[in-house]
Amino acid sequence: MQFASKLPDVGTTIFTIMSRRAVEEGALNIGQGFPDYPIDPALSDSLLEVIAEGRNQYAPMEGAVELREQICSKLQTCYGRRFDPMSEVTVTCGATESLYDAIQAVVGPGDEAVIFDPAYDVYEPAIRLAGARCVRIPLEPPAFRFDWDRFEAVLSARTRLVIINSPQNPSCSVISAEDLDALAARIRDRPISVLSDEVYEHVLFDGARHQSVLSHEELRARSYAVFSFGKTLHATGWRVGYCVAPADMTRELRRVHQFNTFSIASPLQFGIARYLTKHPDAWHGLAGFFQAKRDLLAGLLRGSGLEPVTARGTYFLLVDYGALSHESDMDFADRLIREAKVATIPLSPFYAEPPRMTLVRLCTAKHDATLRTAAQRLREFARRR
Ligand SMILES: Cc1ncc(COP(=O)(O)O)c(C=O)c1O
């Protein structure tokens, strides 16, 4: 049968490739972004309780009311505004589903969506599946600063969506209040929505505060803001995320969501809701927790030839191997797997047209012992070169 692929140039994600290579070579995987330590036992207890109590049938399409109410309390604490759980919050299968649904809701054939490279890998395929064109603007390492004039220059009569991500994976940079103002000014008189990927909202370092579109009066009125309990509760495998948007935009997102996943695993939603009732400040220590891990790993690597680039947020750390090699990041990352027995993630797959750079990404959401072992292997590798 003749079968035309809708995404002919999309291969296996770099995360799967590197994790597979890590298994083949028996390497320590500190590339892919998932914790290797357990979740809070109180969270597992909440899940087991709600299962035993029979919360095992379909949850409401929009999300369990108890969970949406907890989410609204959390949003009020964090962003100073009361959102309506009934009309402005939707629970989805991870942040990934929120991103997909929002993109399908906003863009279609003939439309354009703007994203910034290095970009998290789910945005472009979802834009193309909607039939729209993805316009990618590269941000230059090591600062990865926005150039809003360049952004304005790519806007056209077809532009319908811009996607931002802060704290940003994989650059570990964060957006500033001035950036949000600049974005708002550039799209003010245009029919452009914002999709704001804020899954690392609680992981900013050195005292910085997260700049959410939800705290920005003008942007909030045209934004989908996307969050993930996977990141906030160290439970990436639970796949529970949510999207916050004005009622009219939420209505359109739900039109996609109800025919995509319909509703999210009931016990997980009720389990998280119960846990948040008992631990309403569950995310409070996250920034300090990950800052300590960033500082541990960066401190162990500094001076080794694999130089840490200061991470402003996320649970990742970029290291620059330029002092050791000028190989491509794909080749160098594969060498690290083979020779150092450490799996990392190269940065170039996050760009449409990668700039010259010698950076790989490490994940700090690991036991301190894992980070120490990885650092020791990397230092020994660097010494041998
Ligand atoms: C920037 C970014 N957005 C979205 C996601 C997806 O979140 P979830 O696992 O909740 O689908 C991730 C996960 O790594 C991410 O790094």
| Tens digit of each residue's pLDDT (9 = 90 or more) over 275-301 | 999 999 999 999 999 999 999 999 999
Q: Judge whether residue 88 has pLDDT over 90.
A: yes
More confident residue, 175 or 385: 175
DSSP per position, 117-168? ES--TTHHHHHHHTTPEEEEEEPPTTT----HHHHHHH--TTEEEEEEESS-
**What ligand 1 atom has the least distance to the C-alpha of 241?**
10
Separation between Cα atoms, residue 235 and residue 40, nearest integer Å? 9
Q: Judge whether residue 184 has pLDDT over 90.
A: yes
Report the separation in Å between the CA atom of 86 and the middle of ligand 1, taken as the mean of its atom positions.
24
* Pocket of ligand 1 contains residue 344 by CB under 6 Å: no
Helices 368-384 & 286-301 angle (0-180, nearest 10) = 20
210: left (phi over 0), alpha (psi -120 to 50) or beta: beta
Confidence of residue 9 (pLDDT cuts 50, 70, 90): confident
What are the tens digits of pLDDT across the range 361-371? 999 999 999 99
Torsion sign, CA atoms 36, 42, 48, 51: negative
- Is residue 318 within 8 A of residue 345, CB to CB? The reply is no
β-bridge pairing 307-309 and 316-320: antiparallel
Q: Judge whether residue 12 has pLDDT over 90.
A: no
Q: Judge whether residue 255 has pLDDT over 90.
A: yes
- Is residue 135 within 8 A of residue 154, CB to CB? The reply is yes
Report the separation in Å between the CA atom of 324 and the middle of ligand 1, taken as the mean of its atom positions.
31
**Is-above-0.85 flag for pTM?**
yes
The pLDDT value recorded for residue 303 is 96
* CB proximity list for 376: less than 8 A, separation 6 or greater: 300
Q: Judge whether residue 340 has pLDDT over 90.
A: yes
Lowest mean pLDDT among 4-8, 48-52, 234-238: 4-8
Reduced to 3 states (helix: H, G, I; strand: E, B; else coil), residue 174 is coil
Q: Judge whether residue 11 has pLDDT over 90.
A: no
Mean pLDDT score across all residues of the chain? 97
Q: What ranges make up the beta strands (E) of the chain? A: 28-29, 89-93, 112-117, 133-138, 159-165, 193-197, 223-228, 240-244, 307-309, 316-320, 342-343, 345-346, 359-363
- Is residue 317 within 8 A of residue 360, CB to CB? The reply is no
Structural element, H or E, at residue 265 = none
β-bridge pairing 133-138 and 316-320: unpaired
Q: Please confirm whether the linkage preceding 346 is cis (ω < 30° from 0).
A: no
Instruction: Write the burial class of residue 200 (CB in 10 Å: 0-12 exposed, 13-18 middle, 19+ buried).
Output: buried
Give 72-77 contacts, CB < 8 A, sequence gap 24+. 73/276, 73/280, 74/276, 74/280, 74/283, 75/214, 75/244, 77/280
Pocket test for ligand 1, best of 93, 115, 231, 260 (most atoms within 8 A of CB): 231
Report the separation in Å between the CA atom of 137 and the middle of ligand 1, taken as the mean of its atom positions.
20
Reduced to 3 states (helix: H, G, I; strand: E, B; else coil), residue 253 is helix
Report the separation in Å between the CA atom of 199 and the middle of ligand 1, taken as the mean of its atom positions.
6
Confidence of residue 2 (pLDDT cuts 50, 70, 90): confident
β-bridge pairing 223-228 and 240-244: antiparallel
* Pocket of ligand 1 contains residue 226 by CB under 6 Å: no
Confidence of residue 200 (pLDDT cuts 50, 70, 90): very high
Separation between Cα atoms, residue 116 and residue 253, nearest integer Å? 23
Give the Cβ contact number of residue 321 at 10 Å: 25
**What ligand 1 atom has the least distance to the C-alpha of 240?**
10
Q: Which residue has the tokens 């964090």?
A: 78
Pocket test for ligand 1, best of 169, 196, 264 (most atoms within 8 A of CB): 169
Mean per-residue pLDDT, 347-359: 95
Mean per-residue pLDDT, 246-263: 98
* Pocket of ligand 1 contains residue 32 by CB under 6 Å: no
Report the separation in Å between the CA atom of 351 and the middle of ligand 1, taken as the mean of its atom positions.
17
Query: Tokens for 377?
Result: 């292997």
Report the separation in Å between the CA atom of 198 and the middle of ligand 1, taken as the mean of its atom positions.
9
3-state secondary structure 184-229: HHHHCCCCCEEEEECCCCCCECCCCCCCCHHHCHHHHCCEEEEEEH
- Is residue 205 within 8 A of residue 312, CB to CB? The reply is yes
Q: Please confirm whether the linkage preceding 170 is cis (ω < 30° from 0).
A: yes
Distance between first and last Cα of the chain: 52
* CB proximity list for 270: less than 8 A, separation 6 or greater: 50, 55, 59, 64, 66, 67
β-bridge pairing 359-363 and 316-320: antiparallel
- Percent of the chain topping pLDDT 90: 96
